[in-house]
């Protein structure tokens, strides 16, 4: 069925730097068609220097709201009027809602990550031990979720150590019962930390479609069978990181379920309609 656009159609969309491979326009427009809503979801590829103007344009063009993706989840905040509480604590937004010119930032990655672990990884976070690779906007949401759900220990490895330090400073006061360790990617204790962990997450952009031969963890012997290995990347569906983890006998999960669950929450904020995760995953079967 083709969607008809009229003068009354409300616009929602996606702002990011390289979004040609994003599945969000497909997912959201499938939901719109299925439920016959008068909305249309559009991709907006925006250069970093134009980000402020693009977000101003949400008001000017009366766009109902947008998703914000890589690499603007932190930077977008400076152009907003308000932040929902968890987005403020996390310091990153992936959703903007426009209420009559007032732009509010939300972070639905938190619920997206949590639901993907519950439903697809069947992973209980409480009292577990995790290693997170990366300390960017997505990592902040992932780490916040794990802390909120009572993880015992998190070790963050990042190239720019100051970003990991900032996460520790920002989050520790809210979660004193969990221990947060930070390390530079160059440190060689990464394998030891993974040995003690139940969950390993790639929250770096290493391994995305433009660099499929790359992995954040070149030593294939780092993985073990008692690990749930999660790559936030969903294109390609199986990164080198996940292929190596699978070969080592680890359980793996890619970024698609998180994309779907966070997308459903964003969709609800714009439209008031919340489809089931299972239903949306079914809709996109064969595409992703
Ligand atoms: P950011 O730009 O905020 O962060 C990128 C991260 O990757 C930083 O930790 C950065 O390290 C690291 N990194 C990038 N290149 C290198 C490199 N060559 N060597 C070492 N580290 C590197 O991006 P986001 O956090 O927004 O996104 C990260 C990934 O997560 C992307 O692939 C994105 O598509 C995916 N994502 C998926 C979602 C989903 O729903 N499935 C949701 C959100 C994100 P440094 O700080 O040192 O620069």
Structure confidence at residue 286 as a pLDDT band (50, 70, 90):
confident
Cα(167)–Cα(183) distance, integer angstroms: 12
Pocket flag, ligand 1, residue 232 (CB < 6 Å): yes
In ligand 1, the atom with minimum distance to the C-alpha of 70 is 26
CA 204 – ligand 1 centroid, Å: 3
Question: Which pLDDT score is estimated for 41?
Answer: 98
Q: Which of 205, 214, 256, 284 to mutate to test the pocket of ligand 1 (most atoms within 8 A of CB)?
A: 205
Structure confidence at residue 210 as a pLDDT band (50, 70, 90):
confident
Consecutive H or E run containing 178:
none
Cα(168)–Cα(162) distance, integer angstroms: 10
Is 269 in a helix, a strand, or coil? helix
Token pair, residue 63, equals: 């766009």
Cα(65)–Cα(85) distance, integer angstroms: 18
Question: Which pLDDT score is estimated for 121?
Answer: 81
Cα(199)–Cα(128) distance, integer angstroms: 8
Provide CB contacts within 8 A for 12, sequence distance 6+.
28, 39, 40, 41, 42, 63, 64, 65, 66, 267, 270, 271
Closest C-alpha to 42, from 70, 74, 58, 66: 66
Question: Which pLDDT score is estimated for 176?
Answer: 96
Closest C-alpha to 125, from 109, 145, 149: 149
Under a CB-based contact definition with an 8 Å cutoff, are residues 156 and 162 in contact? Answer: no
Pocket flag, ligand 1, residue 16 (CB < 6 Å): no
Q: Which residues pair with 96 in a beta bridge?
A: 66, 105
Cα(234)–Cα(288) distance, integer angstroms: 8
Name which residue sits closest to atom 26 of ligand 1, judged by CA.
Answer: 70
What CA dihedral angle connects 193, 208, 21 and 96, to 10 degrees? 40
Pairing between strand 129-133 and 153-158?
parallel
Pocket flag, ligand 1, residue 263 (CB < 6 Å): no
Q: What spatial distance separates the first Cα and last Cα of the chain, rounded to whole Å?
A: 20
In ligand 1, the atom with minimum distance to the C-alpha of 207 is 32
- Phi and psi at residue 132, to the nearest 5°: -115, 125
pTM confidence score? 0.94
Checking if the pLDDT of 51 tops 90, the result is yes
Is 83 in a helix, a strand, or coil? strand
Structure confidence at residue 2 as a pLDDT band (50, 70, 90):
low
Provide CB contacts within 8 A for 18, sequence distance 6+.
45, 70, 210
Closest C-alpha to 130, from 228, 206, 205: 228
pLDDT in tens, 212-251: 899 999 889 999 999 999 999 999 999 999 999 999 999 9
Closest C-alpha to 196, from 219, 168, 166, 222: 222
In ligand 1, the atom with minimum distance to the C-alpha of 71 is 2
Q: What stretches of 190-262 adopt beta strand conformation (E)?
A: 199-202, 228-231, 251-253
Percent residues over pLDDT 90 in the chain: 90
Checking if the pLDDT of 263 tops 70, the result is yes
Output b/e per residue, 235-247; b: 16+ Cβ within 10 A.
bbebbbbbebbee
Pocket flag, ligand 1, residue 257 (CB < 6 Å): no
Peptide bond into 71 cis (omega under 30): yes
């Amino acid at each position: 069925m083709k969607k008809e656009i009229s003068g009354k159609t409300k616009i929602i969309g996606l702002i990011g730097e390289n979004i040609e491979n994003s599945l969000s326009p497909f997912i959201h427009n499938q939901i719109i068609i299925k439920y016959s809503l008068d909305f249309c979801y559009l991709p907006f590829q925006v250069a970093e220097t134009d980000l402020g103007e693009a977000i101003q344009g949400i008001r000017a063009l009366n766009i109902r709201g947008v998703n914000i993706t890589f690499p603007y989840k932190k930077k977008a905040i400076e152009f907003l009027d308000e932040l929902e509480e968890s987005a403020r604590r996390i310091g990153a937004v992936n959703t903007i809602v426009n209420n009559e010119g007032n732009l509010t930032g939300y972070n639905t990655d938190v619920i997206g990550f949590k639901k993907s672990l519950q439903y697809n990884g069947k992973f209980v976070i409480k009292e577990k031990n995790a290693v997170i690779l990366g300390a960017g906007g997505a990592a902040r949401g992932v780490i916040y979720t794990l802390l909120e759900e009572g993880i015992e220990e998190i070790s963050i490895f990042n190239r720019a150590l100051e970003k990991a330090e900032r996460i520790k400073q920002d989050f520790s006061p809210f979660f004193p019962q969990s221990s947060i360790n930070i390390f530079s990617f160059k440190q060689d204790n990464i394998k030891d930390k993974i040995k003690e962990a139940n969950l390993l997450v790639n929250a770096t952009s290493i391994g995305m479609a433009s660099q499929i031969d790359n992995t954040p963890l070149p030593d294939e012997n780092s993985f073990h069978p008692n690990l749930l290995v999660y790559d936030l990347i969903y294109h390609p569906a199986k990164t080198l990181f996940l292929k190596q983890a699978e070969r080592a006998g680890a359980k793996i999960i890619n970024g698609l379920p998180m994309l779907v669950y966070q997308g459903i929450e964003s969709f609800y904020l714009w439209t008031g309609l919340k489809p089931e995760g299972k239903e949306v995953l079914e809709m996109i079967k064969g595409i992703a």
